[in-house]
A and B are shown apart, each in its own frame.
Chain A
Amino acid sequence: MEQIEFNYPAKRKIAQRAHVGVVGSGDLEVLLEPAKGEVAHVFIRTSVDGFRDTWKAVLDRFFTKYDGVVRIQINDAGATPGSVHLRLEQAVEVSER
């Protein structure tokens, strides 16, 4: 298991937290919570080691569109980059419902 952390600049306050997904094979769990300051913090624990660059690419892309001041925790059980992106978008959708 590998732990990875990233920070992205953010400015928009969000009101509601969201939890989506399951730590099942090929899937992941996302916990998205409102935070303070002007930064979005992402904390990842993944069962598959050695994919830091791929995680960075997925999150860089996600944060080109998302600007919420949040703390995101990801517990991953080998999800593909596509699944990760979909779960992140689902978490945003739930938090803005």
Chain B
Amino acid sequence: MSNQAYSPNFIKRRSFIELNARERASVFFDAGTSRELLGPFDRVESPWLPMQGVTPQEDDGCVVIKGKIAGQAAVVVALEGAFQGGSIGEVSGQKMTAALDLACADNEKGILTSAVILLETGGVRLQEANLGLAAIAELMASILALRKHAPVICLTAGTVGCFGGMSLAAGLASYVVMTREARLGMNGPEVIEQENGVEEFDSSDRALIWAIHGGEQRYATGLADALVDDDTPQVAEVIRRFVSKGVPPEHRSSQVALYRNRIAKLDTSRQWDPKEFRALWTTNASNEENR
């Protein structure tokens, strides 16, 4: 056997998924332009977790780095999936929202500033309940304000994926970037199984879950704009490309009539297989374009 057989491409790659949030957030910037805002030594942690016997993290699982990407001002916000499942609490939510609002204010002053949000999250942090819900609502308002001026790019790489209220935030993004390993959806598989039973959705069936929530399916059905390998240089290149591309002519979430029509045409009396659904969805899409 040749050496080639022993070292397939994924071994030579520099994994992005294996990086922590701070390392991930650092890879996009032009050399020497970036600085972290409200880092761990500023010690802005969740006041609510210690009260409930949970060890907090000094950055509350949210890393904010400001700098230049492809020569243009940008802010990157990364959620740490390993800390409390990347959940949104009062502090992490405020950090995200404030970062986007500052970017929006810069745009209004004439300094074009994009935002890149790295989502590894199960949604609201249950220990902070309403404060987390409020944070997501504020974040969505901030994305809507910012995306008029500059692109808001959401990247979900895995392995946590992006679920709950944060999947709605991702839905508002100018561009969504995913890996094959990532998942994007409102309710996570375990939640669906718990609420509707294993006949509805078997959360241990990984092939089924990735066929529905996985990056490949989301890209094939037009809910993600790019599918990337778990390769740091490639991920960084795609993000730079979307930053340079600017605001899309029409955001996905503004195409209400298009999606309403597609859903109306769907025969919901029977169970669709993910592959079949992909074919139908793309056929419908090309029919719509032909009209």
Contacts and interface: CB of A to CB of B under 8 A. Distances in A.
Interface stretch (A4-12, A24-32, A57-65, A80-88): A24-32
Interface in A14-67: 17, 19, 22-25, 27, 29, 31, 33, 45-47
B41 A75 contact: no
B20 A77 contact: no
Nearest to A77: B55
- Interface footprint category on A: 10 to 19
Nearest to A28: B55
Contacts of B53: 1, 47
B216 interface: no
B83 A22 contact: yes
A53 B53 CA distance: 20
A27 B40 contact: no
Contact of A22 (B20, B41, B56): B20
Contacts of A47: 53-55
B58 A25 contact: no
A47 B49 CA distance: 11
Given A22-B83, A25-B82, A45-B50, A1 B55 contact: yes
Nearest to B83: A23
B80 interface: yes
A22 to B, nearest CB: 5
B57 interface: yes
Nearest to B52: A1
A73 B58 CA distance: 10
B55 A75 contact: yes
5 contacts: A22-B83, A24-B80, A29-B40, A46-B55, A75-B57
Interface string B21-58: 10000000000000000011100000000100111111
Pick the most buried of B20, B21, B40: most chain A CB atoms within 10 A of its CB: B40
